[in-house]
Amino acid sequence: MIHIENLQKVYEDIPGHVPAIQQIHLQINRGEIFGIIGHSGAGKSTLLRCVNLLERPSSGTIQIDGEEMTRLDSRQLQAKRRKIGMIFQHFNLLSSSTVAENIAFPLKLAGMEQAKIQARIQELLDLVGLQEHANKYPNQLSGGQKQRVGIARALANHPDILLCDEATSALDPQTTKAILALLLDINQKLGITILLITHEMQVIRAICDRVAVMEKGLIVETGKVLDVFLKPQHPVTKDFVGQVSDFSTSSGNDQGIIQSDRHGTLIRITYIGEQTYEPILFETVKSTNVSFAILQGTISSMKSVPYGQLVVELTGGHQEEIASVIAKLEQEGIDVEVLTP
């Protein structure tokens, strides 16, 4: 769907000037929700804006459905952009236009006739849950409602792709959840491919299928969200995973337990999917001399996949018996990390 190769953007063409993004290779599949995460200045916005050519890349290629974006003339680009909606952190609504007029704007630009515009506005208001607010002005709306208008406007011309530029960063946690749920719903109902940028791992965890981590203009890690959470490789990724306080990795926010005066073998086990609700640990140690104490535990979900994490102390039995319990857990497909040296 979106195929990016060796993309580079240098804002100032001065020798020695560091590119805002470089060596960017990405393949985003139709229907997926792809997240790009990074700290401020990492190059996320630049990359996102290159996709619809709001920024023109200095070199490299961006193909959307096989069509090379940088080769389109201005008329072709305009038509292509109609199929790429975009929403923004600060909503970018027309303040002197009503909700309905804001939504009508891209439809008028596309030359749709008035009667059809009215019908389409109603559909979009229904989709984003703003039926009651058609005649209000942006300053009469909450942040969440403003973003709903932004989403309705972005979807007006039935785009195939929705670009989200820190779409929830100006919203409180409750409103963020509601807007993310709406984006997920739109992705599932309409099959729209979503490319979002954020600095919040919570956003990635809530709705993304895959994620790329950016640092200093480069993609330093990419993969399925679950894999990146479980086995972050790059220090920046580990930092971001650490943001999600109920999730721990080898970068660890359970150092306190590890360093405490425990005599058994400490392990961290991670269950994914239906396993989360099964008594696998109990079943595994039942017929052995090994017993366990749960020192820390959490159950949560990543997108719609449940996962559980436990830090467990294994005691009793010989070392071999403990090793065999760990091996059995791994055979069950559970991720086991031994924490004691």
User: Shortest distance, CB of residue 19 to ligand ADP, whole angstroms?
Assistant: 8
Q: In this structure, what DSSP letter does residue 89 have?
A: T
Distance CA 339, CA 84 (A): 47
User: Shortest distance, CB of residue 200 to ligand ADP, whole angstroms?
Assistant: 13
Q: Which is nearer to ligand ADP, 41 or 273 (CB)?
A: 41
Residue 168 binding ligand ADP, by CB under 6 A: no
Q: Considering only 39-47, 60-68, 154-162, 315-323, which stretch makes contact with ligand ADP by CB under 6 A?
A: 39-47
Size of the site for ligand ADP (CB under 6 A): 10
Nearest to 285 by CA among 332, 238, 244, 226: 332
Distance CA 339, CA 341 (A): 6
Cite the DSSP H helix spans in the chain: 44-51, 74-82, 99-109, 114-128, 143-155, 173-190, 201-207, 225-230, 235-243, 255-259, 280-285, 319-331
Token pair 């099959």 is found at 191
Q: Considering only 34-42, 68-76, 269-277, 298-306, which stretch makes contact with ligand ADP by CB under 6 A?
A: 34-42
Q: Which is nearer to ligand ADP, 207 or 212 (CB)?
A: 212
User: Shortest distance, CB of residue 144 to ligand ADP, whole angstroms?
Assistant: 23
User: Helix (H, G, I), strand (E, B), or coil: what is residue 129?
Assistant: coil
User: Shortest distance, CB of residue 173 to ligand ADP, whole angstroms?
Assistant: 21
Residue 20 binding ligand ADP, by CB under 6 A: yes
Please state the separation of Cα 214 from the chain's center in Å.
13
Residue 203 binding ligand ADP, by CB under 6 A: no
Residue 40 binding ligand ADP, by CB under 6 A: yes
Residue 191 binding ligand ADP, by CB under 6 A: no
